[in-house]
Amino acid sequence: MGVEELEGIKKREILRSKIDSKSLSGMMSEEFDTVNVETPLYDILAKMKSQDLHEIPVLDGNGMAGIVSFGTLLRRKTVAVTTKARSVMESPPEVGTDTPLTEVAENMVSTGYRQMPVVKGHKIAGIISRTDIIKIIPQIKDLRNLVVADIMTEDVRTIKENDAVRDAVELMRNLDIRTLPVVDDDGRLTAIVGVKDIVRYNWREKQKQTVGEITGNSSPVEIKVESLSVNSPTTVSPDTTLGEAVKIMLEKNISTLPVIMGKDIVGIVTNYDMVELVASLRERDMVYVQITGLEEEDRRELEVMEKEIQAGLAKIAKVSRPMLFTMHVSKYHEKGNSSKYSLSGRLTTEYNVYVAKAVDWNITRATIQLMEHLERRVMEKKEERLHRRKGR
């Protein structure tokens, strides 16, 4: 083990210790909304809309029975709004007041939740959110001094002003995201559109019978994206520090920041990226790997995909220790029995965060290509570090 690797491990241990020393009791919100197992989905969505919630706890008596997640509902667009909470709720990972913050962050990454209940006994003691977690970044020098370019996603998916809202919703659903940058015909950023903007517009009690109609996915009216988007979005540059980016998010009450260089959009950074950064510091014996967006019919390829991912990570480990790897699968351009796969991967190592994309008609080939892209980027970064050391 080289000196550089030893220094990296020691630094990570110090960062993890600082983060996990924070008590959830001092970070969580003790005032929160709930619903019960018999509450109809329409009332649940109304409460989530009014309070700007993405998840809400479900009670059975005084104890927690589960949570309703808007992200899950977005994928189940045909569910009727008269459906009771007990039929759509799910069980979140168990989080107690003594759960380490890096573990909470990892749970948020694995579930995609924006808010999670903190339980004491069988009762809810509070709610911890992504916003609560990212507040720790400005408090730790080594985190706040990182720049946006270190963790941003470079492969930005956008929607055009004149595209239909249903296309925006479908793209969000496929990518498992809630906001999209809006661009003009020249590819210049003009606005931001989010699911909550669409829900707010479509909220019509007598006309909407399913979640798909409320989110705009099943709306018969071809509403244009520009009519619902938020103009003049707040942006940052690649060299903006994470400390400053967090400050902007908190002041503006936003979760997404397009990254601009000149007039071009070169990336996007979200509070999810920051939570993922915190999660990458969790102590674990193996690399944390998560694959999202895989449809049931493609799960037969999962074993082979995981084998290729592990093989790629093993090669990368010879250069830089992998800590966390996430990959999202999207399908499009379906022709007969064939579909094109778009894979977006994100790798956090002890030194850097890397993002890559691969597209292929074969999901296994796409996985291999993705891991090769990441391996090349890790090697390039190593050569940059060596070059800088020689230049000193």
What CATH architecture is 141-270?
A: Roll (3.10)
pLDDT digits (tens, 9 = 90+) for 240-285: 999 999 999 999 999 999 999 988 899 999 999 999 999 988 887 7
Q: What is the mean pLDDT of residues 9-21?
A: 86
- Select the highest-mean-pLDDT range: 136-140, 231-235, 300-304: 136-140
Alpha-carbon distance 170 to 198, whole Å? 12
Instruction: Using the predicted structure, report yes or no on whether residue 206 has a pLDDT greater than 50.
Output: no
Comparing CA positions, the residue from 206, 132, 135, 212 lying closest to residue 170 is 212
Assigned token pair, 357? 């994309």
DSSP 8-state class, residue 92: P
pLDDT digits (tens, 9 = 90+) for 152-182: 888 788 999 888 888 888 788 777 778 889 9
CATH code: domain 3-129 is 3.10.580.10
More confident residue, 70 or 27: 27
Alpha-carbon distance 44 to 152, whole Å? 33
Q: What is the mean pLDDT of residues 110-138?
A: 94
Chain region(s) in the chain for CATH 3.30.160.100: 284-390
In this prediction, residue 138 has a pLDDT band, given cuts at 50, 70 and 90, of: very high
Alpha-carbon distance 92 to 96, whole Å? 12
CATH 3.40.50.1820: does it fit domain 284-390?
Answer: no
Q: Supply the pLDDT for residue 141.
A: 92
Alpha-carbon distance 75 to 64, whole Å? 24
* pTM for this predicted structure: 0.80
Chain region(s) in the chain for CATH 3.10.580.10: 3-129, 141-270
